[in-house]
Structure 1
Amino acid sequence: MESPSQAPHSGGSPWKGLLLTASILSCWIQPTSAQSASVTVVPKPPYGAVGSSVILDIQGISEQPPSYTWQKRTLDNEIAFYRVADGHLSATDNRLNVFSNGSLLISNLRLSDTDNYTVQFFNSISALIETVQGYLVVYGLLPPPTISSTNMAPVENKDTVSLTCESNSQDVTDLVWFINQSSPVGDRISLSSDNRTLTIISVTREDQGPYECEIWNPVSRSRSQPFTLNITYGPDTPVVVPINPNYPVGATLVLSCSADSNPPAQYTWLFNGVERTSTPQLSIPDVSLNDTGTYICNASNSVSGLSSSKDINVTISEIVSKPNLTASSTNVLENTTLVITCITEHQGINILWVFNNESLSLNERKYLSENNQMLTIRNVRREDAGSYQCEVWNPISNNRSDPLTLTVNYGPDSITFSPTPEGDKIQVTINNPLTLVCQVESYPPAQYEWRVNGTVTCNFSDNSYTINNTSWEDSGSYTCLAWNNMTNLSVSKVVTVSIEKVSPGRGNGSSFSTGDIAGIVIGVLVAVALTGGLIYFFFFKETGRASKYHHSEKNCSAPKYGEDTTLYENTACEKGSAVFAQALDSSPAIPQAQSESPYQALDITQVDVYEKIGPWKNPQGEGREKRP
């Protein structure tokens, strides 16, 4: 059996325990009854709720007694009697009913039904009237609690606030708090011993809530309406938009200022220390260059007594016009100095330089003046040639000049030959073609002149010299001269061409037979005999030999050097040119021919072999038949 001291006490009435104690004492003084330890009265459910029903169930009876008598509070306050034999029931309240097992049903519960209940029945075994007692607690449905505050407008980081959860019900058994739907935690938050009061020390804007408190009892729970603290704070540092205000002349300037504050802040705009307006937004139509300057937004809070400000620089600019480029020269020699100037009608404008449509890279040779208006290029190089532009800009517009094209004249540089000589010698097999090509780097492109064994060849005026079918007489020194009319520079290079016979065992890899060797030996012997005649023949023919190429080297005019200066006089090509001779004077000495005729340098045996196995052409190009 549950005693009154075991019933929940939080929010319950203290007089309920006193009634239970008095009822128990009254049972103990009944001389004709006995308190049973094995029989109990248990409420089902354990707690009653107002408006619902509960059964006081008798448990532990071994035999069915003839009747049951129920009392409330005291034994002399009978509320119901039930006789088992005929089911007779008498009750003081129509909400009461007794089942055949003696259990008492109480319907439509009221708070006043909370009390001690006693049942008495006759125990045939002990021949005594047994008395069993139980306790019923009825709870009402809890109404929503309310929250009150000690300060309805606390100041941030200054005031402390206490919130109290209040309820009109006496049946509250428990109470909990919620902040933003979560349990309150933190060093600045504390709760009273009964949880009814929540205290926040030095409130901040994050403490504004909402707050809720919830009350419980065994049969119901109820939560308060959300409560929000009206915390006074700010103003914080204002925010001004746009962030980087730039306007063209004639536009309308609009600046907006806002600051986090409770209550909302008051705003004042100042320009150069003079107040312009007292609204969050500043608007100035048809701005001019005079409106450029620093604007200050000041925000203040009359409740917190605080203020804060933010300044912003506003630029008013004109639409920029196209600049022009001028240069000391646009056609310059390499290694000279060049100055290019960007001319604009705007003062203090930003200038960007562009080279070949990309931002110009500066270095120790290329540098700008203090205002970026002049570009200086020292020791101009060929890679500096190209398109230059300057671009002027301000925060609202930009414009780029027309391109200025720079031409850099250079060269000619050192000559390279193809095929590549070994040392200064190029070897060619007789009767094979030979093309000599000399290359130089030059702008404008170089002009060329060729000299063979010191004699100018007028029929070759580009950088290549071609012999379709080489012969012994093509051996000798070949000089390539290249010059540039703009730079007045020239360069030359000499190579020695050696005409050689086909070596034995070379070509397709076959070898001479015995008969071939015998024929060659005979031919060599015949050649020895003819040597004297050949020497005589070539000696007298050499001075009158004509060129075997398409044009005669005599009676040709030399090319011009420069636009107005004559490189050669209209004399025979054999006399050479002054420029060529000047270039050769500064070049290594050209090897001289070993003899009047290139064939005099040959071994007599070689000449004889050639006469035997191949055709012969005289210097005038007339063919001779093959000798037997």
Structure 2
Amino acid sequence: MEKAVTHFILLGVISGLTKGVDLLPDGPLNAAVGGTVIFNTTLTPPEKPFLVVAWSVIINNTERPIITSTSSNITDPEYEGRITLYRSTGSLELRNLTLNDNGMYRVSIISDGGNQIKGSTKLKIFVPLSNIKVEVSSTDLVEFNSSVILLCFCSGSSLSFVWLNGSSEVTTNERVQLTDGNSTLTIFSVTHYDQGPYSCKVSNAVSEGTSDPVNLSISFGPENINLMLSPTQEYYVEGSNISLSCSAASRPPAQCQWFLNGVKLSDTGPELTLINIQESQSGNYSCRAFNNKTLRYQTSQPSAISVLALVSNVKVNITDLVEFNSSVSLFCSSSGSSLSFLWLNSSSEVIAIMTPVTPVTLQPLCYFCFHTKPFMFCPTERISGVNITSTDQTIEGNSVNLTCNGAGSDFTSEWMKDGSSLTLADNMTLYDENRVLSFLSLKKTDSGEYLCKISNAVSFDEAKYSMVVNYGPEDVQITGQSWINVGETLNLACSAASTPSASYTWSLNGIEISNNSAVFTKDMTELSDSGIYTCQALNNKTGRTSSAEHQLSVTEKAGGLSAGPIAGIVIASFLVVGGALGGGLYIYKKKINNTARPQNTEQDLHVYENTSVIYENTITP
């Protein structure tokens, strides 16, 4: 007991002297649990030993001694075996550190000449980090439709978190959020560029480490579709072999469907081989890639294949003639395709003079007739029975042909949309003498009323076709409260751009809670209603889905008290008032008693004098 009293008296003496030059470097000093720290002073060993070296620590605003060294050492029991004092410089080594060693450390030194110098520095103890791991809410994701949460877990204290995508640090933007001290990474509406690998780098003042990488599986595409022909040439001879290949960026790999002039073929797969091709197989070939995970399509630009039959068996039919008495019709026939004819008289080209003719019944040939002078006529059939037919379903992304059919000859075709001449967009082509309007990949803006007008020199006819492009759902949005009190009514509304209108399914934290309504309502909310609400929109026509998420927090209502707490407050108020009255009466009576009794001033002064004596005796060398 006497040793401890002396220890405290010496600390009191030292702390009461004038402060000198700082002995310790600026803090804080950082150290790990179980480790060692040395508080090095800035002093060099003096010629004569220091009279006093004293170390203490302030923890939770309470100062306690560590060691006081004069002619002997006084060590606090808690530090026995854990410290080494280097008395020549006043430095202190502290071992086997624990979290309880956090605090402000102070040293005071009195030299042989009686001068005192002192210093202080802060020590911070950290638990080294361990067991770093990353958990992912889901690794099976769909581009643009899915969101993902990555959680970083680690043991240790005062941790800092940094997320890495490969070797690059992840930064926040409108799709990427960091929360919970950066330990939680949330990515909304993922793209296939978000696949990772992701790792979590954790550090504190005494250690650092990085988790194992995590990759996300993100389904995307198809996109960047490409159609290749081999060999590539302007015309192909009947009997040739042609290979077509279709490729697209997609995960999982896309399924390929082939089309000729917008009409679906039975062939599937990324390769289409045409063997011994015939003239009837001429046309525009295209391929459509479909991803059965994302439910998305993409159609290639068409590639034209023109197949020609070789010219053969050319002959001219002629009969016996009498000069001045006969007329003649020359008929040239040949096998082959896409034929062009040129008439020669000896080596000179025959030039025909065009004259107006009266319409007659259509004949399959044009005649060159020679009388006193040459003339030519081509009979024309009137236009009739014009109609428009469509191929495939009018769904955004599909290939569709509008074909203008009609009877007649020598006609031209003209297309209009919504009452104006049709301007071809980048997804439209015309072929077969403008009879076929082909949409390579339908857009929602292609909806409208189409008119086909067929005309020739003697007549015309027209037909209309109203096309509605089914699309969506897209731009799914949820409106409603983000936070709400327990017991209040929750109203959330979901909307999406879609033709026809979408149907809706609601889920909370991944569990389905409602079907077939764009509005979700709950009259009496509970704390368990907090979480992420997901609205999934479905277009039954396109077969496609899209979703949106909404965060809701349900909290206890603040400010209201039930009857029980109110009664407790009233009772407590009465007790306080009663206590105050009783205390006042007691003080009044006490004052009267003290006035009647003389004060012991001498005894009080004696106490202070004794205290002064204690300090005087302590300071005397």
Same fold (TM over 0.5): no
Q: Normalising by the residue count of structure 2, what TM-score does the alignment of the two structures yield?
A: 0.40
Which of the pair has more CA radius of gyration?
A: 1
Higher strand share: 2
> How high is the TM-score relative to the length of structure 1?
0.40
